[in-house]
Amino acid sequence: MERSAASLLWFPVDRASSISLTIQVYEQVRRRILQNELNEGERLPSSRELASSVGVSRNIVLEVYDRLLAEGYLEVRPQSGTYVAAGSHILSEAAQDRLGEAVAAIGRPSPLVDTIDFRAAHPAADYFPRAVWGRLAREVCMDTPERAFGYAKPEGTAELRHVLARYLLQARGVRCHPDQIVVTSGATQALHLVTELLAKDKQARIAVEDPVTDEMRTIFSYAGADLLPVPVDDKGILPEKLPELDRPDFVFVIPSHQFPLGGTLPIQRRIQLIEYARRMDCCIVEDDYDSEFTYEGVPVHSLQGLDPERVIYVGTFSKILSPALRIGYAVLPVRYVEAYRRLKWFADRHTSTLEQLILARFMEEGYFDRHIRRMRKIYRKRRETLVSGLRKHLPEAHILGESAGMHLVVEFSDIRFTDKLMERIRVEGVQVYAVEHYVLVKGRHEHQIVMGYGGLPPEAILEGVARLAKAIRPDRPPSL
């Protein structure tokens, strides 16, 4: 048989990438075939030649050729070689290019690998109670009756809902029967389902604090709702600014520690909010995601406790324990319980039973309270480190919202955190977050940044503040 000349083939591979060499070689050859760079009927180099030109082992190339053969991109002609099969290219090259680039980018390391990231609401992963959790997981796995390994009810396990109802009453003044609780996959799902419950299939309106977290804003806007921004000050939402003409379907608030400004809503405003909801006949959705970490005074009880039939209370274990658990919950007025359970069933049937049972034991046996007390001390220390670092390097900074949570806001009256300045800060190896990023109405918070400290050890916090000072006050000599 006639043997045509084999194509010359070379491409780079990235040995530092997390993508295996086999996949990289496969993607490169496949992309060339799809894009007609290797034409129909063209002979490929032998496995030995390609392995040597690219610098990988011959076994890798053999594996790639086998896979491409099995998928129909190649054909073997006996005693001749391996050829590109007919009909194996497509015309839409642009899409393939983007795919190739995206695949290549997955394994690429970030250019600023040692960036100190003051991301808000990230808990201290290094303090997750691994040993206790591991032991309880084993116990649950061994002692739990078989029925727990089947499908369960959408509202979650009775064990977790009972212990949670008790905890919420004692710690947060939430008044509910365990049957009013639906365990969800994080507060994110809880809020998504609340939006479906109250704001679906109509031109819904949701009144939100402005600024508001981008995750929650995305959930609401994705559902097609119009967002009605309500300004906040250092204590939280300003109820007198709630819309009087456009009735919202619900008001979304974080009264115990407004995100990102950090205010704790005083009782007078809480009462005003409830009165507003009664007057407008709408619900209030209270997100209480990090209220366990209060450092000054006594934590203020939930809004839900003031009117359990008007307020949907949403909580999460992501900040107290870990976002990896994906366990949150909604506490619902009785009239919404059935419909909400149905929505949860449609979403994912139920949250992992085993994980719920471990958590229930963790709470029942007192580890949860102990963990909160321990984490409060750790976050207090991290907060003090951040505040003292700011006092040292940037004494003119005005600090807001430092009495709770895992982040605070820093304001500089003479600095506007423009995109250009944010980039300069990033290049200095530190990531902070402009409050303007979270706003709906632009221009009111240009002088403020959010700095989360929960996930950073004290040395990183101090180094991060020094880098921040260098970026925003380049002419100032560094403090020693």
Ligand X SMILES: Cc1ncc(COP(=O)(O)O)c(C=O)c1O
Provide the sign of the torsion angle of the four alpha carbons 273, 274, 280, 283, taken in this order: positive
Nearer to ligand X by Cβ, of 292 and 428: the residue is 292
Nearest to ligand X of 318, 356 (CB atom): 318
Q: Binder to ligand X among 83, 250, 252, 289 (CB under 6 A)? A: 289
What minimum distance in Å lies between the beta carbon of 312 and ligand X?
Answer: 13
Least Cβ distance, residue 280 to ligand X (angstroms): 23
Q: Smallest distance, Å, CB 197 to ligand X?
A: 17
Q: Closer CB to ligand X, residue 47 or residue 188?
A: 188
Judged by beta carbon, residue 88 or residue 213, the one nearer ligand X is 213
Nearest of 344, 354, 290, 359 to residue 318 by alpha carbon: 290
State how far the Cα of 135 lies from the Cα of 367, in Å rounded to an integer: 12
| Residue 25 exposed, middle or buried by CB count within 10 Å (0-12, 13-18, 19+) | buried
Give the residue, chosen from 14, 215, 233, 348, that forms a contact with ligand X under the rule CB under 6 A.
215
Which residue's structure tokens are 């007198």? 240
Strands (E), 74-204: 74-77, 81-84, 116-117, 181-184
Q: What is the DSSP letter of 336?
A: G
431 binds ligand X (CB under 6 A): no
How far is the C-alpha of 239 from the C-alpha of 268, rounded, in Å? 10
**What phi, psi does 181 have (nearest 5°)?**
-95, 135
CB of 315 to ligand X, least distance (A): 8
Residue closer to ligand X (CB basis): 344 or 393: 344
Interacting span for ligand X (CB under 6 A) from 213-221, 332-340, 428-436, 472-480: 213-221
Residue 156, interface with ligand X (CB under 6 A)?
A: no
Applying CB under 6 A, does 121 fall inside the site for ligand X? yes
Count residues contacting ligand X (CB under 6 A)? 15
Nearest residue to ligand X, by Cβ distance, number only: 186
Closer to ligand X by Cβ: residue 255 or 429:
255
- Between 367-393 and 458-472, two packed helices, what is the crossing angle to 10 degrees? 30
Least distance CB 190 / ligand X (angstroms): 7
Cis geometry, peptide bond prior to residue 45 (ω within 30 degrees of 0): no
Question: Treating both helix axes as pointing N-terminal to C-terminal, what angle do 419-427 and 458-472 enclose, rounded to 10 degrees?
Answer: 130
Q: CA nearest 449: which of 278, 262, 170?
A: 262
Ranges within 172-211 binding ligand X (CB under 6 A): 186-188
Least separation in angstroms between CB 325 and ligand X? 9
| Cβ nearer to ligand X, comparing 262 with 464 | 262
For residue 340, with 0-12 CB atoms within 10 Å meaning exposed, 13-18 middle and 19 or more buried, which class applies? Answer: buried
The Cα–Cα gap between 396 and 390 comes to: 9
Contact with ligand X (CB under 6 A): which of 65, 73, 250, 259? 259
Could you tell me the smallest distance in angstroms from the CB atom of residue 228 to ligand X? 18
Token code pair at residue 124: 């201290």
Closest approach of ligand X to the CB of residue 221, in Å: 15
Closest separation in Å from C-beta 192 to ligand X = 9
User: In the Cβ-directed half-sphere of 28, how many Cα atoms lie within 13 Å?
Assistant: 19
* Cα distance between residue 177 and residue 166, in whole Å: 9
Q: For ligand X, what does the binding mask look like between residues 310 and 339, x meaning CB under 6 A? A: ------x-x----x----x-----------
Residue 426 near residue 112, CB atoms below 8 Å? yes
Q: Which of 183, 199, 254, 332 binds ligand X (CB under 6 A)?
A: 254
Q: Which residues bind ligand X (CB under 6 A)?
A: 121, 186-188, 213, 215-216, 254, 259, 287, 289, 316, 318, 323, 328
